[in-house]
């Protein structure tokens, strides 16, 4: 039987103090068994600039 994906949860706090904008985000990212932790974190970080 194949291993399934593991769900990881990231709590992220973003702040733009010049504009007075503060956000708390929760990201849920699935990690495939063949994927390294570093790659998964890179994917999660790549999502954030679009916020």
- 16: confidence class by pLDDT, cuts 50, 70, 90: very high
The pLDDT tens digits of the residues spanning 18-32 come to 999 999 999 999 999
Cα Dmax for the chain: 52
Q: Which two tokens stand for residue 18?
A: 């010049």
pLDDT score for 8: 96
Report d(CA 29, CA 10) in Å as an integer: 8
3-state SS, residue 11: strand
Name the one residue in this structure whose structure tokens are 């039987």.
Answer: 1
Which band of pLDDT confidence, cut at 50, 70 and 90, is reported for residue 39?
A: very high
- pLDDT (mean) for 40-51: 83
* pLDDT given at position 50: 63
Q: Quote the radius of gyration of the chain (alpha carbons, Å).
A: 14
What does the pLDDT read at residue 47? 84
């Amino acid at each position: 039987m194949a291993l399934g994906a593991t769900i990881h949860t990231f709590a992220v706090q973003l702040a733009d103090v010049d504009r007075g904008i503060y956000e708390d985000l929760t990201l849920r990212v699935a990690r495939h068994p063949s994927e390294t932790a570093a790659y998964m974190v890179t994917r999660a970080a790549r999502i954030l600039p679009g916020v």
